[in-house]
Amino acid sequence: MNSHFKYFTVIIKKLTLNNFIFINRFASLINALFSQLSTAFVGSTIFQKINFLFFYYLANFKILSMKTIPEFFKESVANYGNNILIHEKKDGKYQGLTYKEIDEQVKTLAAGLYKHGLRKGDRVALLAEGRTEWLVSELAMLHLGIIDVPLSVKLIEPSEIAFRINHSESKAIIVSGGQVEKVRGILNQMPGIESIIVFDEIDPKDKEILYSDIFNAGKEAGSKIIAEVDTINQSIKGDDVANISYTSGTTADPKGIMLTHRNYTANTEQGTSLFVIKEEYVTLLILPWDHSFAHTVGLYTMIGKGASIAPIELGKTPMETLKNIPKNIKEIKPYFLLSVPALAKNFKKNIEAGIKAKGETTEKLFNFALSIAYKYNKLGFDKGSGGSFIYKPLYNLFDKILFSKIREGFGGRLMYFVGGGALLDIELQRFFFAIGMPMYQGYGLSEAAPVISSNSPISHKMGSSGRIVANLKIRILDDNGNEMPIGQKGEIVVKGENVMKGYWKNEKATNETLKDGWLHTGDIGYLDKDGFLYVLGRFKSLLIGNDGEKYSPEGIEEALTDQSIFIDQVMLHNNQNPYTVGLIVPNAAALKQEIKSQGKDPKSDEAINLALDIVKKEVAEYLNGGQYENMFPARWLPASIGIPDESFNEANRLMNATMKVIRGNIEKHYGSLLEYLYTPEGKNIVNDKNRENMKKWLG
């Protein structure tokens, strides 16, 4: 394959740094060409290989690599200055600001921050909802060489915010009016904070200063200040830390992931080896902007291609903001959306509710149309193969009369979703692929900035996490560090320019995770013969039998919640015990409805036993004789079931901001219940503890 690029290599080697912009544009054109060819000739993987190899070559010519985010942004301003960068709701409608306008704001704010006393290497926390000021603040900080410490607006506990700010040794906090009370309440716990910069026009309190005052100070900066800022900007290197991004801290104190300028710019290059992003594209950023997936893919990948972004219209409460999503989608008409499983399930639920509301005939027709689409689409990469092409005419008909109407509800231009944050159930993928808005599963870690692999329009296999991005090495290792052959599972280990610098002030964790430049992800997976990555779960989440055998529980947990209307959440447990047990959070509404349909009062003692029996039967569907028998080994299905007294959620710290259960916290919180499930009394689902908790759910 090297001969395909012999000519390109000769040309590129002769070019100098003065040809940087030309090379970058040339690379983009070639990438777009090969990506289009890949799409057109899905059955011929030579084009995919050419595309991959070309990017591999480009990434190894250092003159091609935009090392810092300020350089990266400057290039986009030069290429796409008059394009709209960000749309934001003002006075009831979305209004846009161009790349040039944002660039001016960035330079002005950078000068203001410099006059305020902030310098290269300082850490500054950013706690705010996604909005124009969020983006300008980060770019201004990075323009000055300041390290941004983005914090999730979903952080509720004051101690969680204080820990991150103190641990990062932040000198200042940039905060929105909606989040400032969180900071005010813990200011006495953060002695290192010198100032709090507030986006919105409020009455400033202790150490607070308005964003507008900092910005206006930047407008008045003289030539001396501007020259000093420019000098600092020129001194920033690709290996300088851009962000300290904190983990959710599911097992211990959160770790501060040091991501460099080059980590981000490298990952944006890698991501576009799988996805073609055009400058006319626009996306609505639903995920929080501190989320590594939204940060890299939603912000920087779009910026690198001159495309546009839009934040959700902020409501007075988080719930009101969420309710704005459907309306904002119709207004923005996005070309693609970033999603996580919780959002995807909610979209599906709303679609199905809309169909059901149109009557029984429409619902039956829709379900029949889905069955035809499933037969035609298969697993995506084999769409229309093996005789399934006979379903194409009927599928096209249903697409015109049914599925296209659903797509109109998403603005009419939505081509696909990209899913990250957790594994997407394959049935969820089949559903969205059928209605013409594929949900491409991806995989990544914040420590990898974050994208490692993804399905895409170029290459798609449902059930997998897609192909590895360009210029990233991957190994699958067993417990002894030996590389596993194709098809055999082990720990996923990767190496590339997107891999983090390390954990802030945590050398021990850094050395455990980074070994000779290889990032040990802690995730179990394997590569198939076609180069698709399958992610099976976390090593730390493994069920371990009393004979030492290990099994990943995520697949079982997802199946139970996705295929049963009576089960909302599941967490399985087996730590070298004789059998597996499960904590099952019931869907109270569905259980009440079923109990009433059987002529029982949901508040009666009889109803409690009936509800427990319904849950037990749902699990039994995966055992011998059940609807889903042989889907999973019986020894890893829960032989004993416990009903918790509340759901797993962010408020009780049993779920993190990306909607993943925090196993360590759940096991600690329900430790006595888990122990009880290994007793003879606890093994019977109709026990005193389960009856007491189920009574609360049905009350």
Predicted pLDDT of residue 449: 97
State the pairing for strand pair 439-444/451-454: antiparallel
Per-residue confidence (pLDDT) for residue 6, from 0 to 100: 36
Residue at 137: amino acid letter: S
Q: What is residue 658's predicted lDDT score, i.e. its pLDDT?
A: 65
548: nearest Cα among 574, 525, 571: 574
What's the pTM?
0.80
Condensed to tens digits (0 to 9), the pLDDT of residues 580-624 reads: 999 999 999 999 999 999 999 998 999 999 999 999 999 999 999
Single-letter code of the amino acid located at 595: I
Three-state SS at 642: strand
Q: Are 458 and 523 found together in one domain?
A: yes
* Sheet with strand 308-311: strands edge to edge: 93-98, 84-90, 308-311, 282-285
pLDDT for position 662: 86
CA atoms within 13 A on the CB side of 603: 1
pLDDT for the residue numbered 119 = 98
pLDDT band at 554 (very low <50, low <70, confident <90, very high): confident
- Is the same domain home to 77 and 58? no
SS3 173: strand
Kindly state whether residue 330 falls inside one of the protein's structural domains. Answer: no
**Cβ neighbours of residue 157 closer than 8 Å, sequence gap 6 or more:** 653
Q: Residue 217's pLDDT is what?
A: 98
665 in the same domain as 648: yes
Of the candidates 81, 147, 144, which has an alpha carbon nearest to the alpha carbon of residue 116?
Answer: 144
pLDDT at 670: 95
Which residues lie across from 90 on neighbouring strands? 93
Does residue 24 lie within any of the structural domains? yes
* pLDDT per residue as tens digits for the range 114-162: 999 999 999 999 999 999 999 999 999 999 999 999 999 988 889 889 9
Q: What CATH number is given to the structural domain containing 123?
A: 3.40.50.12780
- In angstroms, the CA 439 to CA 375 distance is 17
Boundaries of domain holding 690: 542-698
Calculate the alpha carbon distances from 231 to 144, 145, 181, 226 in Å.
Answer: 9, 11, 37, 9
Structural domain tally of the chain?
A: 4
Do 549 and 416 sit in the same domain of this protein?
no
State whether 532 and 548 are in the same domain: no
Q: Are strands 575-577 and 543-545 parallel, antiparallel or unpaired?
A: parallel
133-142, 388-397, 649-658, range with the lowest pLDDT: 649-658
304 lies in a domain?
Answer: no
Question: Taking 70 as the threshold, does the pLDDT of residue 2 lie above it?
Answer: no
Q: What is the average pLDDT across 484-496?
A: 96
Q: Is residue 501 part of a domain?
A: yes
Closest CA to 293 of 418, 125, 428, 433: 418
State which amino acid sits at residue 537. Answer: G
Look at residue 319 and tell me if it is in a domain: no
Q: What is the pLDDT of residue 129?
A: 96
pLDDT at 248: 73
Strand partners, 285: 311
Given a cut of 60, whether residue 281 has pLDDT beyond it is yes
Residues 466 and 563 in one domain: no
User: What HEC string does 113-172 produce?
Assistant: HHHCCCCCCCEEEEECCCCHHHHHHHHHHHHCCCEEEEECCCCCCHHHHHHHHHHCCCCE
In tens, the pLDDT along 42-86 reads 333 454 445 544 544 443 333 345 589 999 999 999 999 999 999
pLDDT tens figures, 17-40? 334 334 444 444 444 444 444 433
On the question of pLDDT at 173 being above 60, the answer is: yes
Do 293 and 384 belong to one domain?
Answer: no
In this structure, the answer to whether residues 603 and 688 fall within a common structural domain is yes
222 and 362 share one domain: no
Residues 274 and 67: their CA atoms lie apart, in Å, by 21
Rounded distance between C-alpha atoms, residue 611 and residue 623, angstroms? 20
Paired with 284 in beta bridges are 310
Of 242-251, 383-392, 437-446, 630-639, the range with the lowest mean pLDDT is: 242-251
57 and 93 assigned to the same domain: no
* 340 and 414 together in one domain: yes
334 CB-contact burial (10 Å; exposed 0-12 / middle 13-18 / buried 19+):
buried
> Residues 409-423: what's their mean pLDDT?
87
Domain assignment present for residue 325? The answer is no
The answer to whether residue 457 scores a pLDDT higher than 60 is: yes
* Pair of tokens at residue 520: 């040990």
- b/e 258-286 (16+ beta carbons within 10 angstroms → b): bbbbbbbbbbbbbbbbbbbbeeebbbbbb
The CATH number of whichever domain residue 633 belongs to comes to: 3.30.300.30
Q: Do 321 and 315 meet the contact criterion of CB atoms below 8 Å apart?
A: yes
Domain final residue, candidates 518, 540, 562: 540
| Domain end among 540, 566, 596 | 540
Indicate the average pLDDT of the chain.
Answer: 88
Tell me what pLDDT residue 653 has. Answer: 85
324 inside domain: no
Helix (H/G/I), strand (E/B), else coil: 201? coil
> Is residue 527 domain-shared with residue 382, that is, in the same domain?
yes
Domain boundary (490, 505, 540) is at 540
Residues in the chain: 699
- The contacts of residue 205 (CB under 8 Å, 6+ apart) are 184
Taking 3-state DSSP, the helix, strand and coil percentages for the chain, each rounded to the nearest 5, stand at 45, 20, 35
233: its two tokens: 């900007």
Q: Tell me if 616 is assigned to some domain.
A: yes
Token pair of 349 as six digits: 């639920």
